[in-house]
């Protein structure tokens, strides 16, 4: 059984460990409300997000989960101030998502795409049992 994990660009850029398809990682997973990702990735894809990877607080006391990364896509979208907003906070603009498969290493930095900004990664992974004597790769 696979699960889908959201990884924020800023978390990776700050102190995330690079990872790639096939790697075994150890991530702190936080449950998500898929509704929080609808504007970013669309309703259907948001429904499939099971967790977000967290290493900046909020996950204290949660044990890291060993996972084998099956696949990774970069998520890019356009940001803008929503119509009728009273503040000037930029939010994802629905319907502008561009997904780019990651062939190499996901390191928090992505090639610029015209008209959109890099937002993070969606990783498909499966839980694995890691023997005590085996280290966890990259993550």
What does each C-alpha distance from 63 to 5, 55, 66, 133 come to in angstroms? Answer: 16, 11, 10, 18
User: pTM score > 0.85 for this model?
Assistant: yes
- Round the average pLDDT of the chain to a whole number and report it: 89
Asked if 28 and 55 count as a contact pair (C-beta separation under 8 A), the reply is yes
| pLDDT of res. 136 | 47
Residue-wise pLDDT tens digits, 65-122: 999 999 999 999 999 998 888 888 899 999 999 999 999 999 999 999 999 999 999 9
| pLDDT of res. 84 | 84
Helix/strand/coil for 138: coil
């Amino acid at each position: 059984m696979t699960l889908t994990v959201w990884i924020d660009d800023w978390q990776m850029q700050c102190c995330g460990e690079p990872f790639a398809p096939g790697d075994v990682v150890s991530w702190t997973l936080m449950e998500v409300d898929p509704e929080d990702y609808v504007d970013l990735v669309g309703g259907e894809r948001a429904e499939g997000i099971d967790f977000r990877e967290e290493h900046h607080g909020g996950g204290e006391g949660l044990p890291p989960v060993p996972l084998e990364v099956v696949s990774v896509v970069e998520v890019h979208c356009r940001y803008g101030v929503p119509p009728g907003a009273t503040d000037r906070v930029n939010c994802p603009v629905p319907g502008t998502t561009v997904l780019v498969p990651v062939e190499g290493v996901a390191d928090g930095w992505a090639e610029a795409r015209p008209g959109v900004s890099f937002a993070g990664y969606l990783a498909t992974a499966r839980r694995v049992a890691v023997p005590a004597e085996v280290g966890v790769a990259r993550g």
